[in-house]
Every structure is written in structure tokens, then in C-alpha cells.
Structure 1
């Protein structure tokens, strides 16, 4: 707990936490979750907004409009033709219909593309005797779900006037709220200043004698206004980062109304087996990849069995409110070299990775990209092999790793230093809750926090990774470690937060 005092004065008066009781999130006498805060107001955020439709909503069963049976030849054109036919149907309550792939083995040498809202690609099961899509031909992506996202500022931006907006907050105050109304979509825009980069220790990154740039320009996150009281804006989803005026420059952080168009909605991929040829490749080779989601919201990927793709599931930075559930990944031949691929690449926001699994080595089971704000959640997943759940690069925030098993690998919320291309601090305001892993590296970023609570496995310290020779580097400060080797209540933080926010039916809706 001493590491917390390095950057924050913690609210005084808290008694030592009893066994199996977190002092950061715990039940009060009435059974309601209570959150300890830093003196400036930061806290473990409410992650329950992650997932399809913002969490707690059942994925719909979309009616079949077209069925495709396998042939003895390439089936790409037949499946794509069916997708295009369904994509041309009118929307009814946001849904057009599903393309059903009959049982059997389909051969596909081209990418299957969904670019319209309300379309589902569904197989007849993910077993070997059910629907199998066998990838043939040159390396390619199997399924692409993609809109064409455009974000356009509307009107003038206004400045945030708070000296400090804590992580986990739902509100902030602005200089002028007259240009906003309830229902507006806005961006909160934080400038990347030399002062903040220096605070983070990221202005000295060097690789092969060349200076590396960690983060530059601006950090942006999108929210909807749900209430306005004077100059105070209230948002639909908590903020997953803090905003400290001391490090925001003379102009400060801003809020601007935007028109975000082109995202497709209510799209799903479900219930089949995807098989690529086993190949011995490096990260720089051309790959067979699985499912990619771009510029979409309110969608799902469920009940897939994916074999031998290098990138099984990838969600880009314009992807929002998506559930990936019961997707099982296997790679029979590990990637060659030190550079690793990611099984589940999470670059969007409000993403729920739920009850997924993987069995492979030399891989990131879960990786985040740069500059993304959560809430994002990895829940009840099981990953076997020597890989890691490891946010990958350049300051993403708000990740909950909840009740997972990585028995031969690790879970890391860390500073990656000069690794990659200067990936540096990868995660702030992240939480590892009640997991089992071989090892953990949970580190404390300047001006932020990462928590490891109720975890079982070795807690390791680490230095700043570097490729250049130089003086011996000190150990980086450890994050907030609590109830090591003994799980805490609630068993799942995400599920308890979801139940408290939306009620017990929300838990049943997502299959718990």
C-alpha cells in the first residue's frame, strides 16, 4: 500500500481491511458497493457499462433471411452474395436479418464483409461436425465488419474549468455550457503537454540511440450528455482517466460537440468454426486473421472456435459497446521471434471479453492499443500457455481484468519502456481483480494508479525496459496490491457492479 502514497494523499481514517475484504471496493452494511477514493477523488471506476448496448442486455436472436450450403468449390462468393442480399433488406427495429451457414465445410479464399447495420453471419454450431469455414488461398482476413466512421466537430469547444477531474467521475464543469443540450455526443479533448510527458518519465525513451515518441498531440474520448446543471455536464459513462489542470497547458482540456456518423450497429458473427492452415511465421509475414470489427457499435462475436489465425479477434478504436463471448482460440504453431501477436486486440471502448479461452504460446492473450479510454473488461476467461494479458502501448486507461485464469502466463499493467516503438506506460486506472496467474507485474504510473486485488500468483517487480546500455535503472513503483493470495468479495467486480446498476435481470441477460 505504500506505493499509493508516492503520488497521492489517500483519504485518511480508513481501518485496515479484514481478510477477503477490499478497502477499495467493498459492501457496506446494506449490501451496497462502497468505493474508497484518493484525496482528489479518483477511485476504481464502475466498469459495468462495458458490453453490448452498454451492458446487461441480451444479444438478440436475429431471424434467418438467407441460408447457404457448402459446395465442393470456393464458397466466398455465395456467402458474400447472401450477406449482400440481406444487407439490402429494410431495417425493422434496427435488424435486417441473419445469413445462416448450414452444417458442413465451407472453403473461403476471400474476406467476407458486412458493411450494413442489422446483419448477422451465423453458423450452425462451432463443433467439427457443425459449420466449418476453412480459409484457403493466400493469407487473408476471414470476416470484416466495417462501417465508415466520420467524426465532425460541431460548434465551438469550451474549456474544462475544474482544477482536477478524477478518474471514475461522471461529471465535469465547463466555462460555457450554453452550446450543449441533453443527448449531445461530445469529445473530451486532453492536450498532450511536455509537462505531462515529463511527469510520466516518457521524455527520455531511446532505442538504438534514437529518441522515441511515446504520446503526442491530443487524447480524446467520446461521451453523451445526459444532464446539464448550470455549467456542469453529466455523462452517460464514467470517465476512465483524470484531468489535472497542472499538466494541461495554458489552454487546458476541452469539450466539443461532435457528429459521429458511419458506424454500423446491431451486427453479429456467431456459432461457427474458423480454421486456417497451420503455418510457421513471424509477425512481419502475411497472416491468416480471424474477425475484425471497425467503426461499429452495439454488436457481438459469440460462440466461435478459431484455429491457427495469427490475429483471431481485433476491435479497432472506433468500436464501441461490443461483447465478445465464448470465443475459443488455438494456435498449433507458435509465432516465431520476440514480437508477439494478440489473440484479442481491444482498441475500442465499452468492450466486454467474456468467457473466452486460448491455448497457445508466445502471444498476448489480451492487448490494448494506444490512447483508448475504457471501461473495457476481460471476464472469466481461461488462457493456457506462456502468453500474457498485457496492455500493449501508449496510455490506454480503464481496463478491468476480472476472475480470469492464466496459470502458465502473466497479467501485466506496466511500463513497457522502449519495447516496441517506445510503448512506455501502457495502462492507467486498471484493475486486476480475483485472478489466478503464474505472475503479475502491477505498476504505479505517476499521477495515476493500477490495482491488483485478490489475485493468486507471484507479484513481481520490474525496471524500465530498455534496449540501450546505460546506468542501472531503479525498480518502478509497484501498484496497489491488496489481499494477495486470498480472493475478495464480490467474486466478480463487473457482475456485481452490473447487478447494482441495472438489477439482477441484467446478470441473467448475459448468461450468468
Structure 2
């Protein structure tokens, strides 16, 4: 007999899918307004407005598997697993480890198919080798989480990044957000294909400029950010000390706040894995009514993965469900259902973005007292949440310590909010949580859109209540609002991400990702 929770969840997913389609169809016919910041002209070309310093809304189309617009492969199955009596953890792990020894062919070793059935698992299942896909048989393949609280699937391991060669300073007085290039003192050691770290020091002057130097909670000083902000990119070309990069920047670099300066240096990675997929199955945890500080079952932890995917997953009752640290990863059709809420003011994050070029596409969540999506500290994009629907008392909220380059595109949060905000002393001094973020043609109950010093956040073509607040725990002053453009009136293009992708790679790129 089918799992009743799963069936209820599938009905919810179908309803959400139908409502998303209908809403998109209606919006397509009613979206005739134009944004002041990005205008669609002619046959779909986009014209960008720049700030006085040259910043613009970035090109988010690089988010996703293989850098966006690439079809996720259907990898042939190598072996089929059938459930056994008792704990299936070692049974599944043994097959994964065995397939990990098969030689790679075009980047893959093969897929492991879980036959229909219920697989009780009391420990974490690990995917730590290149080129492996773990595939279920749809709703009939269920991982039943048992035993002590644990993570159901761990994908990848920690990556070590070593800086090699000499570090050179950026010489531009200001590099705007959205830029594809910058000038260095000496570009002679760099060439196309090099992976680089762009390292901006966190200086006292910048922390003061951001108003983050006086955070105090319970009589104790709270530290917002220390060290440096690092953006990793790949060199496209070098000409006359100008380094051009393949993916645009999602933050600005102001020499007035970065003395002695922002540096660029080649990097070498060890421990990163590639071409990992987890698809077409369900994960069922026991109902959990806990605080986030108590032990709990979580669904998936990804770290150290490049060019991978999670798709067609149904997840029930996990807490802090999916955390992704890696790059060029697609999460497609992830459906999360809660039958009980977590307890307390601190909320778990069902989707946690801790990497770059992440695409969350057509994800659905139903639950209360959650962050539907949160970002980690110092995360830089481009990261995209596309055509997702989240039902319940929760928030899309970049969470802490200066994430940059997030697009919320065509998403619906009818019972909750979308917040680009200064979290002040919340947590342990989360402070300004995000800059250079965009909500495009979204629907939410409310928005808290605040503008960090020297940066922008945009809510464009979206509908819902505008809120204005002080920092948490303060009554005043009210913080400056970010940009609201064409509020309560959808704009063209209907999807910023899809139009940017089409302009960069053509219509086939949209077909490759299901549009």
C-alpha cells in the first residue's frame, strides 16, 4: 500500500504545480510593465540600468548544473538494489562503494537503481566518489529513517583550496557588482582557464561604514565579519593586465574600504567531486517536534561537489532538510512536507545555500516556523530560486553575514515573507545578511527589503505588503528601504533567469532545463 503521507504530499505537489502554471499563464498575459532597472526590448533583449558607480543587476543565468542551461543526463543503471530485512544502510553503502571502483566513462561510473520498496536506514549513506548516481523508482522507493537522529545522505567531503603563485592587487578604484572584468597590477601569471580567488579584506573602516561595529547582545560584543570575503572565479581571458572572468561578480570592490587592497591569486583544489546525482526517491523521517538545537533527522548534506544535482525528491518531516555547499548544482522538483513544526524562536532552514551557481528549480515546501531558504555566511552567487512555491508560516531569508547575488524569481510565499534585511544582533551578530539581491515577479504576504550602505537590494514586479523596520531589538531608526520597482504589477520578462539564459545560450538551453 502507498505511504499515505507520500500520497498526501503528491496531491499537494500536483496542486502547487497546477497553480504555478495557471499563475504563470495569467501573469504572462498581464505582465506588460517594464522595470526601471532591466527593460525588455525588441525580440527580448535586456537593457540594464547602472548605478552612479556602474553597478547593475547581475546575469544570474550561470546558476545550475554545468553553469546553467545544460540537460541533466540520464545515466544508465549499473546495478539494482532490493530492500533487505532490518537495517539497509550497510547494504546500500556496500553497493555504492563497489560502483565507486568502476572506471569513469565520460565522467560517470553509472547509476545505482533502488527497486520499489521500503529501505529502513539507521545511519548516514555516503556518496563520496566521482560519477555516481543513486536513483530510486519514484514514489515506490522509500528511505525510512530510523534510529538516532542523523543525516540521511551525505554527498562529498570537505575541499581543500590552496593558493598558488603570487597574489596581485586589483588597481581599479571601484569594481562594480555585475562586472565581468577588472584590472590588476600584473596579469602576466594568469591565463584562460585558471581558477582564481578574489580576496577582499574585511577592514575596520568597511565594518564601520556598514554600521556593524557596535553590535551588542546581552552586554556582549557581537562580531559580524572578520578576515576576508573570497569570490572564486575562472579566468576567461587576460589582456593588458585586464582579467576577464567567465561568471560575473556579485559584489562590489571599493578601494576606499579595502586597504591595502583586494588581491587576486590562482588556486588549486583537492577533494572536490563531480557528476553526482541523487534522484527519484522519497525520504521519510519520523515526525519531529524539536528545537533546532536538539538532535534531529536531516535529509541531505552536500559539500565539495561541482556539477551535480538533486531532483525529483519527496522528503517528509526532516529538520534543516537540505544544505548545499558546492558549485554549479541544480536542485529540481524537491518537495518537502512537515506534519509538525519545530519549537522555539530559532528556525531551521529547509533549503540552505552555502555555495555558488546554485539553482533551486520548482521546489515546493509545506510547513510552519521555517526558513524555506536561507544563505550562509560570506556566500556569493549567482544563486537562483526559480518558480518555487512555499506554503506555511515561513520565510525566504538570506540569513547571515553578507551573502551576495541571490535571485528569487517567480516564487510564491502566500503565507510568509521574503526578507532582504539587516539581522543585527540576531544569532551571534548576523548583521547585514545580503546585498545585491533581487525578488523578481514574486508573490508574498510581506517583504522586508532593506538597503545596505554602498549596495542595493531590489523587489521588482512583485506583490505583497511592504514593511519597514529597525534592526531587530531596536525600535528606531527605521532602516532605509531597498528598491521597490513596479510593485504589485508584474514586469517583462516574466522570468529574469530564463530570459538571461535564453539570451546567453539560446532557446535550447531553456528546453534543456524543462522550459
Pairing partner for 2:505 from 476, 486, 502: 502
Contact kept, 8 Å, 1:185 with 1:222, in 2: the verdict is yes
2-side partners of 1:148 and 1:326: how far apart? 26
Corresponding residue pairs, total: 485
- Look up the match of 1:13: none
Contact kept, 8 Å, 2:305 with 2:327, in 1: the verdict is yes
Contact kept, 8 Å, 1:395 with 1:428, in 2: the verdict is yes
Pairing partner for 2:278 from 256, 269, 279: 269
2-side partners of 1:303 and 1:488: how far apart? 30
Pairing partner for 1:206 from 216, 227, 234: 216
Contact kept, 8 Å, 2:387 with 2:411, in 1: the verdict is yes
Pairing partner for 1:186 from 192, 196, 221: 196
**1:103 to 2:116 alignment:** yes
- Look up the match of 1:6: none
Task: Give the deviation of 1:30 after TM superposition.
Answer: 4.8
Aligned ranges for residues 271-290 of structure 1 at < 5 Å? 271-290=280-299
* Structure 2, unaligned runs of 5 or more: 1-30
Q: TM-score, normalised by structure 2?
A: 0.93
- Look up the match of 2:143: 133
**1:359 to 2:366 alignment:** yes
CA offsets 1:303-360 (integer angstroms, 9 cap, x no match)? 00000110211112xx000000101001111000001000000000000000001000
Say which SS state the counterpart of residue 492 (structure 2) adopts: coil
2-side partners of 1:508 and 1:344: how far apart? 25
Aligned ranges for residues 167-186 of structure 1 at < 5 Å? 167-186=177-196
- Look up the match of 1:311: 320
1-side partners of 2:245 and 2:220: how far apart? 42
1-side partners of 2:70 and 2:155: how far apart? 21
Contact kept, 8 Å, 1:182 with 1:225, in 2: the verdict is yes
- Look up the match of 1:374: 381
Say which SS state the counterpart of residue 428 (structure 2) adopts: coil
- Look up the match of 1:15: none
**1:48 to 2:61 alignment:** yes
Say which SS state the counterpart of residue 508 (structure 1) adopts: helix
Pairing partner for 1:390 from 387, 397, 401: 397
CA offsets 1:357-381 (integer angstroms, 9 cap, x no match)? 1000000000000001100000000
Task: Give the deviation of 1:19 after TM superposition.
Answer: 6.2
Task: Give the deviation of 1:400 after TM superposition.
Answer: 0.1
Pairing partner for 2:37 from 16, 19, 24: 24
Pairing partner for 2:495 from 492, 496, 509: 492
CA offsets 1:413-460 (integer angstroms, 9 cap, x no match)? 010111111100000000000000000011110000000000111011
CA offsets 1:224-280 (integer angstroms, 9 cap, x no match)? 10111110000010000000011001x100000111222100001000010000022
**1:349 to 2:356 alignment:** yes
- Look up the match of 1:9: none
Contact kept, 8 Å, 1:116 with 1:147, in 2: the verdict is no
- Look up the match of 1:331: 338
2-side partners of 1:433 and 1:32: how far apart? 17
1-side partners of 2:104 and 2:476: how far apart? 59
Say which SS state the counterpart of residue 34 (structure 1) adopts: strand
Say which SS state the counterpart of residue 61 (structure 2) adopts: coil
Pairing partner for 2:173 from 138, 163, 172: 163
1-side partners of 2:397 and 2:161: how far apart? 29
Contact kept, 8 Å, 2:39 with 2:492, in 1: the verdict is yes
Q: Greater helix share, 1 or 2? A: 2
**1:64 to 2:77 alignment:** yes
2-side partners of 1:273 and 1:225: how far apart? 40
- Look up the match of 2:156: 146
- Look up the match of 1:455: 462
Q: TM-score, normalised by structure 1?
A: 0.94
2-side partners of 1:81 and 1:509: how far apart? 33
Pairing partner for 1:292 from 301, 304, 323: 301
Pairing partner for 2:311 from 298, 302, 308: 302
Contact kept, 8 Å, 1:19 with 1:483, in 2: the verdict is no
* Structure 1, unaligned runs of 5 or more: 1-17
**CA RMSD, Structure 1 to Structure 2 (Å):** 1.0
